[in-house]
Structure 1
Amino acid sequence: MATAAEQKVGGLRVSELAAGARTARGSRACKHLRSGDMIPANVYGHKEPNEQISIRREDFMRWFRSGQRIAHLMVGDRRVTGLVKEVQWDALGDTVIHADFTRISLSERIHMRIPVVTIGIPKGLAGGTFDHIMKEIDVEGPAGEIPEKIEIHVGEMVIGDMVRVKDIPTLPASCKALNVKPDAVVVAVHAQKIVAAAEPAVEETAEPEVVGKAKEGEGEDAGEEKGEKPEKGDKPEKKEKAEKGDKGDKKK
């Protein structure tokens, strides 16, 4: 099974992906499909029964890596237009192991997250810096008119220039950005910030202390702190003996 012709619908490329109906169910059947380079997938929505299909891994990866998210799934002689809603990868993130599609009509309004791509090199890079703030934007609009990507030409941008969501030139009038304010900045060129070099700190050096030299205030009142010794001729006063009458009183 190979990827069929590509169709251009509005701003979208919609490829046909050959798919086969799955009859065997369960993890063992899915494992068997993966071993044969097939990807098990589900298709649901539009109040129709869920379908289990399988897509050749090589076809799916070529389609997915091209940036497309809407495909015409060719299941037998039927064509089902589906928007990929979820892609499951293995533990290493290298191999797709499952995919989910929801049925859509190219005329109905849907929500999609599309990448923002810049084209060119800003003139303001000479002395400035380029800031790509939004890499993706959620968009609502008719499925057949939502662009695959938003392209912004930045070659003429100089320092101080910016592009806001409301200024995006490649977003069709039938589509609108979601979950973001119209004045939000998508890309901008800023002047480089010059950081002044810090002056080296000067350390204060203390004067060397002379060993043995008394500091000011020391030694003057040393005697007062330790207490002066009485002179040799002085004797401490003895307490006067109590009068005999006093002793008698105590005996009583």
Structure 2
Amino acid sequence: MFYWLLKYVFLGPPLKVLFRPDVRGLAHLPRSGPVILACNHLSFSDSIFTPLIVDRRVTFVAKAEYFTGKGIKGWLMRHFFSGTGTIPVDRSGGKAAQAALETLLRVLREGGIAGIYPEGTRSPDGRLYRGKTGVARLALESGAPVVPVALLNTDEIQPTGTLIPKVMRVRMRFGAPLDFSRYAHAKGDRFVERAVTDEIMYEIMALSGREYVDVYAASLKTSIEAPTQRSSRRDDVAPGGR
């Protein structure tokens, strides 16, 4: 009940008035049955606009820390994520990916819509990065069609590190459903999973118009952060960085 009140009464209507969504291809989304929404990931606000635009309930997963915060901010985040259909996943112990996939598989088996960001993390610079094969495993295990989704300008609306989004028209594109039932016999084949994932990422690239980079976004972030960390350690030892 809270989900529907938040989406259709408290949050949805004012957001649609403020951000005037420009959405194309929404008719590609099946009206019933299990569906996987595979989206590029530019901003924290992606998880706000995608469920807002789709009439059916969309379920994403998020780290459990978003649901355990203290104070007013923690209360607001907990109720926001709960109200938008987000499910918490414990990321400790190195089993986060498996826990997320199992959660989304349950959603699909119940005939719902599972939202996933194949890149695994937000793009550090707006480009589209190599997809992780979890989206392929999800498609092959469930048999659900994959609808590619491109968010075109959410990184301009809410750049990484900013709290208050800029009020401007949000633009989204939905592609035709991708059917991978021809690979149903190849569950667990890592070469097939890679091929399926690359096909999904190609469709997202075509919809978004963003440059594609064939490396994982998380690896790039690590390489960017590493020199800074090394520099910090040198500064602690030798003033002036020498």
Please confirm whether the aligned pair reaches a TM-score higher than 0.5, indicating the same fold: no
- Place the TM-score, normalised by the shorter chain, in its bin: under 0.3
Of structures 1 and 2, the larger Rg is shown by 1
TM-score of the pair, normalised by structure 2 = 0.21
TM-score of the pair, normalised by structure 1 = 0.20
Whichever structure has more strand as a proportion of its residues is 1
